[in-house]
Structure 1
Amino acid sequence: MTTSAPAAAADLPGGTAPLHDDRRLVLVVAVLASFVVGLDSSVVNVALPAIRTELGGGLVVQQWTVDAYLVTLGSLVLVAGSLSDLFGRVRIITWGLVVFGVASVLCAAAPSGEVLVVARAVQGVGGALITPSALALIVAAYRGAAQAKAIGSWTAWSSAAMILGPVVGGLVVDGIGWRWIFVLTAVPIVVTIPLVRRISSEVRGGPHARVDVVGAVLAVVGVGGVVLGLIEQERLGWGSPVVVGALVLGGVALGAFVPWELRVTRTSGAPLVPLGLFRARDFAVGNLATLSIYGALGMVFFVVTLFLQEVWGFPAWVAGLATLPPTLMLLALSTTIGALAGRFGPRWFMAAGPTIAAVGALLMLLAGDDPAGYWWSVLPGLVLVGAGIATMVTPLTSAVLGSVPQSQAGAGSAVNNAVARIAGLVTVALAGVVLDGEIGVTGLHRAMVVMAVLLLAGAVVSAVGIVDPDRRDSDSPA
């Protein structure tokens, strides 16, 4: 039984009700908005071989089809967190849905790999606007154990996109062509926008919220430069001026990012990343665990999907079905795990989950050239990966966002989402190095070892660093 949440600290339009009065509608909107982003992510992987066949470009185009989206999403999600605090979560979600829908149409009509990559980058802008605001609405509307349970429900129902995506996307790719998958991702937008407009209240971070433009530029250039260098090295070589220049530029921008954020904090008090959030132990440790764990997950779904189609010869729709187990486990367990984590604390769930997933990754080392090996290697491996994700993801989200003030929920959600997306895009960018330029059995095995190491690192960080809320509260001064 849930308890009423206190009124959100927000600038509400005159005469509107507090956000917790809209809690059911808020949860539905957050699920549908996240469904749009999740559906796109899940359908694209099964379409990569078909995109490569029609547009050419090899593994590099496949990597950029994934990473162009993740570069803008991962870097601009930080800006979106500030925008949601400044203009309101509801308004920013609406903007994001519109941008995402337009970009989806552009992807569907792309005449070349270059145009597709640009359109995917624009999709990332829309996804960046949607992602932190959707979760921040839940954080504003729910408190305590009810919040953990709501986040679990959001995780579970949002995962329906991951279930529908690979299967429906595979059928669409095999039936009428890969372009139609982008039309498919635009459909939920038509349903979601009218519901967003029905939310009677708005949440903002306060009258002093601003947008750190220089910080945003440094983030985009830094992340984009590093990813550009990592992906293009496969085609141009490490000694190429383009690769070296991109890596140096990206490194310099990232190196300048933290000093600039400290300067903005001292002067205007409105940095892109409120570094003060990292004084909260669970926020800092949770984001460090996110970096490791989501880097591993980004690698596994990219590599396994390509392996099933390009090495074992699975049709796109069969590959979609074959990669469903993690999503089914997430859907089945997330709400229950969220409730348990709200009761007992997130620490040991966050330690156990990545460990279970690491065992699943190592099981996939049994995969060989025979597609029949799916039943004793990839399938049980993916089931364990899914069980691990379900055990970890809701407690991780609750630990990170539960440690920040509600007025900074947009920024806190944005930072955590940015860390997750950037971790995934970097590991996808490194896939060319791990796979040695082409997918195969040896490359799959190397990728699974890398994944297991990253997952175990996340488990250790969580076990050592996370402090459960009861202990955190007892250690805090009155």
Structure 2
Amino acid sequence: MSTSQTGSPAAEANAAAPPLPRAAKLAITTLVIGAIAAILDSTMVTLAIHTLTVDLHSTTATIQWVTTAYLLALGVAVPMTGWLERRIGGKRAWMLALLIFGTASVLCALSWNDASLIAFRAMQGLGGGLIMPLMQTLAIRAVGHRPSPNLIATISMPAALGPILGPVVGGVILNWLSWRWLFLVNAPIVIVALVMAWKYLQSDPPAADQKRPRLDWVGLSLLSPAVVGILLGFSQTAQHGGLDHPGVLIPLSAGILLLVGFIIWALRSADPLVNVRLMRVRSMFTASSTLFTAGAAMYAGMFLLPLYFQVVQGRSVLEAGLLMIAQGIGALVIRFVTGKLVARFGGRTVTVAAFLVSVIGTLPFAFADHDTSLVWLTLVLFVRGLGIGAVLIPPMTLAYQDLGPEDVAHASMNTRIMQQFGASFGTAIVAVVLQFVALHSTSGDAALQAFHLSFWWAVGISLLALLPALALPGRKPDAEAAP
């Protein structure tokens, strides 16, 4: 299927895709259930920083590594998913990732001090880093054709709803249970996912006479520390108050240099760890760029919103989490119609519209204060959910449109890395703005001024995201002839 045919690529995908057989539906359901645990966990733990500091008799700076260690381990694992899937087969790789994540979750719950928790969180991050790219790869292979927007809407649902539902579930647990249940709650989900994977995922071990792929050790030694350096640099910006601090600048610069080195190596290698040549394909390049900015726009707001309710409006962690439900409902509702919208208007138009809707749903917070009506803010959050719930689907669909089946695993890694970079970048930017204004404001209400300016930055990031979105492949002149 080529984009030179009639209609937009996404419209063609929807039109050409036959109804899914029962086996494919069961496989996709299995993969989504497995991904839920990893996504919820990564968003729940951030709420527990204060609780962990007190219960483990630690410091905030040390406990922050509970989140950072997970993030860095995730960055190490993501580039290895393609090799692991080819080495032992997709089903085995998926079950191994779940086993690592589930075992680490139980160990986190049994942690006896801050050091042990940080170590087990790193182990958990290795499993979590394998789960999301494998889910995309195996889901697309399960359907046997290029992904439709409806398929992407399904497999991206955990990534979209996790940051929204995570604070709700985490707030409930922290309000009534021990922090250890933040990790123990993963165990039953992982067990169910493993049983379903064993039963419903198609076995795909490498053929006995097939040459086992070798791990690209040079690429791994360049890309994994590159990802770690970039993510670490971004994650330290709030703590150090800007990008010019050595604690930020050194890992960030080193990460960028190593990334450039990996790109040079991968372009010359016959079998690189991640195939960067795919970026020469217009649909892949523009989709990846859009996913970077989408990650930045989504997570900038995700970082600010719960803090706004707690700091400015004085709500508890549980209340802040419950208020975020409206955004989750909006994100869920829009996913039922995004596929039809993409088929009718094209991926570029829907992506641009989604970014603009997310701006409309973020802008009121730049004016909200201590007494702003919660009814009004709930409505605004619902609108924001409509935007962020739709923004990932078109570019993720377009990313695979001009690629062959052999490129699916590499495309999944590319898109996942770009989303992770974008999320870290967006969070880092608004965190620095929030901290800087709060510390240097001469206003009588420094916190409120800091949040107002930070939300303006979040709006600006969403508007800048329109630039790569406008470059996405659009509808062809004869698209009206498409079914």
Residue matched to 1:405: 404
Superposition pairs of residues 302-341 of structure 1, within 5 angstroms: 302-341=303-342
Deviations 1:172-210 (A, max 9, x none): 101122221111123200101011112233287985744
Residue matched to 2:443: none
Deviations 1:200-231 (A, max 9, x none): 33287985744323222322322322343444
Q: How far did 1:251 drift?
A: 3.3
Report the secondary structure of 1:197's partner residue: helix
- Match status 1:224 vs 2:228: yes
Report the secondary structure of 2:369's partner residue: coil
- Match status 1:105 vs 2:122: no
Superposition pairs of residues 142-161 of structure 1, within 5 angstroms: 142=143, 147-156=148-157
State the TM-score, normalized to the length of structure 2: 0.83
Deviations 1:255-291 (A, max 9, x none): 3121121222xxxx21122122112211100110111
Q: How far did 1:61 drift?
A: 5.4
- Match status 1:249 vs 2:257: no
Q: Does structure 1 conserve the Cα–Cα contact (< 8 Å) formed by 2:295 and 2:426?
A: no
Q: How far did 1:369 drift?
A: 3.1
Residues of 2 paired with 1:41 and 1:145: CA distance? Answer: 29
Residue matched to 2:6: none
Q: How far did 1:233 drift?
A: 5.8
Indicate how the Cα distance of structure 1 residues 98 and 261 shifts in structure 2: closer, same or farther if over 3 A, else same: same
Residue matched to 1:375: 375
Give 5+ residue unaligned stretches, structure 1: 7-18
Residues of 1 paired with 2:134 and 2:236: CA distance? Answer: 33
Q: Does structure 1 conserve the Cα–Cα contact (< 8 Å) formed by 2:68 and 2:235?
A: no
Superposition pairs of residues 227-238 of structure 1, within 5 angstroms: 227-232=231-236, 235=239
Indicate how the Cα distance of structure 1 residues 281 and 272 shifts in structure 2: closer, same or farther if over 3 A, else same: same
Residues of 2 paired with 1:37 and 1:385: CA distance? Answer: 24
Give 5+ residue unaligned stretches, structure 2: 1-13, 440-446
State the TM-score, normalized to the length of structure 1: 0.84
Residues of 2 paired with 1:471 and 1:460: CA distance? Answer: 25
Superposition pairs of residues 252-331 of structure 1, within 5 angstroms: 252-264=257-269, 269-331=270-332
Q: Does structure 1 conserve the Cα–Cα contact (< 8 Å) formed by 2:31 and 2:193?
A: no
Residue matched to 1:9: none
Letter of the 1:453 counterpart: G
Q: How far did 1:426 drift?
A: 3.1
Q: How far did 1:425 drift?
A: 2.2
Superposition pairs of residues 47-196 of structure 1, within 5 angstroms: 47-55=48-56, 56-58=58-60, 60=61, 64-142=65-143, 147-156=148-157, 164-196=165-197
Q: Does structure 2 conserve the Cα–Cα contact (< 8 Å) formed by 1:362 and 1:381?
A: no
Indicate how the Cα distance of structure 1 residues 242 and 301 shifts in structure 2: closer, same or farther if over 3 A, else same: closer
Residue matched to 2:215: 211
Deviations 1:289-328 (A, max 9, x none): 1111101212221222233234433222221111122221
Residues of 2 paired with 1:197 and 1:323: CA distance? Answer: 35
Indicate how the Cα distance of structure 1 residues 246 and 132 shifts in structure 2: closer, same or farther if over 3 A, else same: closer
Indicate how the Cα distance of structure 1 residues 465 and 187 shifts in structure 2: closer, same or farther if over 3 A, else same: same
Residues of 2 paired with 1:417 and 1:239: CA distance? Answer: 27
Residues of 2 paired with 1:52 and 1:299: CA distance? Answer: 25
- Match status 1:396 vs 2:416: no
Deviates more, 1:453-462 or 1:185-194: 453-462
Residues of 1 paired with 2:244 and 2:297: CA distance? Answer: 28
Residues of 1 paired with 2:63 and 2:336: CA distance? Answer: 34
Deviations 1:418-448 (A, max 9, x none): 1111221233344542222669323322332
Q: How far did 1:413 drift?
A: 1.1
Residues of 1 paired with 2:457 and 2:65: CA distance? Answer: 21
Q: Does structure 2 conserve the Cα–Cα contact (< 8 Å) formed by 1:291 and 1:423?
A: yes
Indicate how the Cα distance of structure 1 residues 390 and 169 shifts in structure 2: closer, same or farther if over 3 A, else same: same
Q: Does structure 1 conserve the Cα–Cα contact (< 8 Å) formed by 2:39 and 2:158?
A: no
Residues of 2 paired with 1:391 and 1:234: CA distance? Answer: 29
Residue matched to 2:204: 202
Indicate how the Cα distance of structure 1 residues 458 and 231 shifts in structure 2: closer, same or farther if over 3 A, else same: closer
Deviates more, 1:191-200 or 1:69-78: 69-78
Residues of 2 paired with 1:356 and 1:333: CA distance? Answer: 12
Q: State the Cα RMSD in Å.
A: 3.3
Residues of 2 paired with 1:108 and 1:307: CA distance? Answer: 29
Taking only the aligned residue pairs, the percentage that are identical comes to 26
